[in-house]
Structure 1
Amino acid sequence: MLKKIVLPTLLLALAVACQQGQKRPKGEGINRDTTHYTKEEYIAEAMDSNLVVAFLDHHAEFAPYRESILDFYRKRDFHFAWIDSAGLTEQAGGFMNMMRQDEATGIRDSSLDKSAALRLYDSLSAEGSELNRKDLLYRITEISLTGQFFDYAQKTWGGMTSDNSKDLEWFIPRKKINVESLLDSVIRYPKTAIATNEPVNRQYKLLRDELQRLAKLAKDNPVLDSIRIEKKKTYKSGDSSNVIAAVKKRLQMYGDFKDSDTTSRFTPQLDSALRNFQARFGQKEDGVIRESTVASLNRPLEHYMQQILLNMERIRWVPVEVNTDYLLVNIPEFRLHAYEDGKLAWSCNVVVGTQGNSTVIFSKDLKYVVFSPYWNVPPGILRKEVLPGIRKSGKAYLARHNMEMSGSGNSISIRQKPGPSNSLGKVKFLFPNEYNIYLHDTPSKGLFNETKRSFSHGCIRVSEPKKLAEWVLRKDSSWTTAKIDAAMNANKEKYVTVKEKIPVFIGYFTAWVDSQGRLNFRDDVYGHDKKLAALLFGK
């Protein structure tokens, strides 16, 4: 039977290696650890430890996981994990099915070659009744499945390497996956599906479900992307047009328009559906058919499916679950979200950096709330804006902007004094970092009403600063609403140390499922999607 396997040379090499009983470095296959499993948990047969070592010697693709694979088998005294007295286990079949259907995971890694493991599994499935666990095919398939699980788990649930994510200007620390523990759990508890053990954030699974939904929509409507909505004017409630009928049909397919009506009349139901669609795409929510709305409706489904895949990759990098209080700023969404014990408490609009002064993607812990802050003018703004203003108007410029100057020559520093016109407003929130980025109030409130809000020099302006201050200090009974209000208007700088750890995540997600279960999309404001797509799709 073995002659049917596609890898005869490898099998022969492994057989010879085992027969010769090669000496191995201390700490490899010969050292056993039988303290983690009881005898009842073992499958009756065990492998020669040298076989595992020889297999890994011939499979460079599993080199990054070599010690973890050996450790996994040591802890089970080199007994089988994927094969029992009846042959291949249910867990082995579930893992193979997952690999065969991994289009929904968005993996585009050429180094993840699943073909060998799948061929071995299929061969053993076909011939298993005629083989026993002493046959080499059983043992090679066993080790291959374990190596493949480590490789697949790291790339499917861990994502591309951390070096690549840094090249993409992502500086939030990457999560770490204990694949050995995950595999151990999958093997030990047969009734537990692999999917329930996936070490990924809940958003990953939600996006994967949406990806599958869009894939089915594309399959069921093969001509959908070839039908474009032609719009020559703006349409609103009460209008009639063939364009309106086309918009209704498209919104029905996307799930925004629940009514079966396909007439050309602009109805109140269509108005509601349009507002829901516009909210999902970060557009002005006014129920009007305009150019931006039609452009979003006309984009091919493949565009949105790839956008989901890009964000699934990013979500592979983030913590599986955060059960503490934390703040999340999603740059493309222009929103800040406050979480309590891992659950969304409230959100507000923010203004982020322009494309030329982009806000950095990173995370730090919130340390201070600063009431009535000074604004120390950054070097770039000092050089490009403030010093030219002083040269033109002299001290009048400083007085007009409520600023004070110290130093001389090349060592000039300028700061703006606390007050209603201060560029940082009445409060700022510091999470010390090397990028000099923080959250702050602003006297320029009008920009929060804009749909796209990338106007700052890199720091993040918050539309509800008082509410944020109250939220951050809510567990400190000495900071009442009245005291916070007084500190914000005291025109005297005051630092308050935050007593409990509050992580701040500055993230970049252009597709996600919101708290209402709606699939959202946003524009790629800094071009990060484009860079990531080049790595994942070669585009």
Structure 2
Amino acid sequence: MSSGLIAVRAMLLLFCLWPLYSLASDAIRDRMEAIHQRFPVTALGEPLLALDALPEFYSHREYTLAWSRTEDRDALLEAIRAAERHGLIPSDYHYSLLATFAARTPDDLGPEARVDLDLLLTDSLLLLTSHLLHGKVNRESLEAEWTANRHAQRIDEIASQALETQQIPTLVDRLAPPQNGYQQLLKAREFLQSLQPIPWEPIVDGPTIRPGMTDHRLPLIRQRLIAMGDLMPTISLEEQVIERHYSDRLVAAVTRFQDRHGLDTDGLIGRRTLDSLNITPQEKLAQLDANLERWRWLPEELGDTHIIVNIAGFELRMIRAGEEILKTRVIVGQPYRQTPLFSDRIRYLVFNPTWTVPRTIMTEDQLPTIRRDPDYLQKLDFTVYRGWGADRERVDPDTIDWWLFSENNFPFQLVQEPGPHNALGRVKFMFPNEHDIYLHDTPARSLFSRSERTFSSGCIRVEDSFRLASLLLEGQDNWSREQINRTISSRELTKVYLKEPVPVHLEYWTTWVDSDGKRHFRNDIYGRNPRLIARLTEKPRTLAPDQARTD
């Protein structure tokens, strides 16, 4: 067949199909206009959800159909199935309805159904892209995001590129967080999935089981520890005979379990250890999914050198070029003065800081203490001022009748001078923020030995603060450890700015995998998991007609 005849036939085919494409384009344009007006829009009976990104997507392609290739449609279905491994729910992305059309081509459908299918496929792609990149739940409001309105333009571009370059098969792996912490959680999720069929009979409460004792609950405890990987299975006759005996081997397994769950590693099987042993794989899976979501909230780039504080794990880690160079314990805010979650940059250090006591702490904590112990202020090197700013006036605390003042009538400011008693210790790490939160040293060293460390008023106390200071100041103006020690010994307030501010991320992970591959679970100290889990399992919400725009 001549090339001229082929060209003529192509033109005839285009001429015949042009009314179809024109009708499809008009239909898509009308739907996008309805979305702009914030009217509920459905496709094949299901609501469209990516209300901000959908119009952008189709506008850039001049409202033409996007899903003519069977391979692309099949790849999207596979991507939705793969997203379940990340704790996302396939039904959120129209999976069941799209799967019913898997064996049909657009040519099998009428013009209206073809447009509907195209819109539904695009809606699924955009929403999945948004949830993988930024999370399903808004970090600030803790509301599920169904409109794909965060970074909508970028979501549109990424989805368009994936479709145009046939990269949908790799979509999930490319968009999910690449950090090792997230990837290790995916492996832990697979392990928890494997435990789902195992019966998880509750271990009854009773007296604390101590090493060497015999107890009827030990066979079930042994099975539980084997299932979770803390105890290697054994088939020896001796183990079968003495399985009700709390042997050294079983004590070691219990201690490993306690370490992974943030319990005192004393080998005693008491109430808290039993409670942790009774947490089902289903409950742990939901907890793990909540922490996968928290990973998706993080910035895509954490920083070549960065610090992560896990509030729920009471731990600070400093990472440089992918390697952990510091891990140290921290103390965080009490449940009624919770440490907030955010990312910022450490910009400078203060050696020998003073501590200006926040008003809430002055009136709620310090005032009752001063009333009980008149010498408290002098013993801990506090200076008292009447008023604030340049007009404040130093006052002798012995001349003040502290019983005359209250939370609503407290005209004083308390400032603790540098020294060994200072509540901030010898160094603080500053990343100025609206919460007035920072990292700092502390003289209260004994508290770091506690398994749960919620003792601060919101700021984060760092156990190995001098090591952290040394690492931050490496290679900067001869700030060696010796220079740091000399500066501290001087008791003079000294501020040192970093040449390169270091990112710091305050996070709340109740589940993680450490560098040795151990799966860790922690108590939800601030009670944040239930609401997040509820939002992650929430069904998509449609836009009500009364939410239509009036502008």
Normalised-by-shorter TM-score class: 0.7 to 0.9
Structure 1's 329 and 55: CA in aligned 2 closer, same or farther, altered over 3 A? same
Q: Higher RCO, 1 or 2 (CA under 8 Å, sep at least 6)?
A: 2
Structure 1 stretches lacking a partner, 5+ long? 1-16, 23-47
Amino acid at match of 1:357: R
Give 1:146's match in structure 2, choosing from 92, 109, 122: 122
For residues 142-173 of structure 1, what are the alpha-carbon distances to aligned partners after superposition, in whole Å with 9 as ceiling and x for unaligned? Answer: 453223211222235432353xx22359xxxx
Residue in 1 aligned with 2:449? 449
SS at match of 1:357: coil
CA distance in 2, matches of 1:62, 1:101: 20
1:188 maps to 2:165? yes
Contact 2:75/2:169 (8 A) holds in 1: no
Amino acid at match of 2:173: T
Residue in 2 aligned with 1:69? 57
Residue in 1 aligned with 2:13? none
Structure 1's 136 and 407: CA in aligned 2 closer, same or farther, altered over 3 A? closer
Structure 1's 393 and 448: CA in aligned 2 closer, same or farther, altered over 3 A? closer
Structure 1's 133 and 446: CA in aligned 2 closer, same or farther, altered over 3 A? same
Structure 1 residue 139 displacement after superposition: 6.2
Residue in 1 aligned with 2:200? 225
Give 2:185's match in structure 1, choosing from 183, 204, 207: 207
How many pairs are equivalent? 478
1:308 maps to 2:288? yes
Over the aligned positions, Cα root-mean-square deviation in angstroms equals 3.5
Contact 1:201/1:321 (8 A) holds in 2: no
Contact 1:121/1:141 (8 A) holds in 2: no
For residues 348-375 of structure 1, what are the alpha-carbon distances to aligned partners after superposition, in whole Å with 9 as ceiling and x for unaligned? Answer: 1111111111111122211111111111
CA distance in 2, matches of 1:66, 1:113: 15
Residue in 2 aligned with 1:255? 229
Structure 1's 241 and 186: CA in aligned 2 closer, same or farther, altered over 3 A? farther
SS at match of 2:157: helix
Structure 1's 133 and 356: CA in aligned 2 closer, same or farther, altered over 3 A? closer
SS at match of 1:512: strand
Structure 1's 82 and 371: CA in aligned 2 closer, same or farther, altered over 3 A? farther
Contact 1:175/1:318 (8 A) holds in 2: no
Amino acid at match of 2:208: K
Matches within 5 A, 1:147-186: 147-162=123-138, 165-168=139-142, 178-185=155-162
Structure 2 stretches lacking a partner, 5+ long? 1-17, 35-40, 43-47, 144-149, 388-408, 540-551
Contact 2:57/2:160 (8 A) holds in 1: no
Amino acid at match of 1:407: R
CA distance in 1, matches of 2:133, 2:270: 40
Contact 1:510/1:523 (8 A) holds in 2: yes
For residues 40-98 of structure 1, what are the alpha-carbon distances to aligned partners after superposition, in whole Å with 9 as ceiling and x for unaligned? Answer: xxxxxxxx644543564554534322233225535xx9585550xxxx11x43232134
CA distance in 2, matches of 1:62, 1:425: 50
CA distance in 2, matches of 1:526, 1:119: 43
CA distance in 1, matches of 2:115, 2:364: 69
CA distance in 2, matches of 1:191, 1:295: 43
1:460 maps to 2:460? yes
Amino acid at match of 1:329: V
Matches within 5 A, 1:40-59: 49-50=25-26, 52-54=28-30, 56=32, 59=42
Amino acid at match of 1:467: R
Structure 1's 168 and 155: CA in aligned 2 closer, same or farther, altered over 3 A? closer
Give 2:219's match in structure 1, choosing from 230, 245, 251: 245
Structure 1's 454 and 392: CA in aligned 2 closer, same or farther, altered over 3 A? closer
Amino acid at match of 1:145: L
Contact 2:136/2:536 (8 A) holds in 1: no
1:234 maps to 2:209? yes
1:287 maps to 2:261? no
Structure 1 residue 330 displacement after superposition: 0.9
For residues 451-507 of structure 1, what are the alpha-carbon distances to aligned partners after superposition, in whole Å with 9 as ceiling and x for unaligned? Answer: 000011111111111111101111315101111111122211111111112111111
1:398 maps to 2:377? yes
CA distance in 1, matches of 2:217, 2:95: 47
Residue in 2 aligned with 1:14? none
Give 2:326's match in structure 1, choosing from 308, 325, 346: 346
Structure 1's 154 and 270: CA in aligned 2 closer, same or farther, altered over 3 A? same
CA distance in 2, matches of 1:291, 1:78: 63
Structure 1 residue 19 displacement after superposition: 6.3
1:440 maps to 2:440? yes
CA distance in 2, matches of 1:334, 1:241: 34
1:369 maps to 2:344? no
CA distance in 2, matches of 1:273, 1:327: 32
Structure 1 residue 377 displacement after superposition: 1.1
Contact 1:199/1:320 (8 A) holds in 2: no
For normalisation by structure 1, the TM-score amounts to 0.78
Structure 1 residue 254 displacement after superposition: 1.0
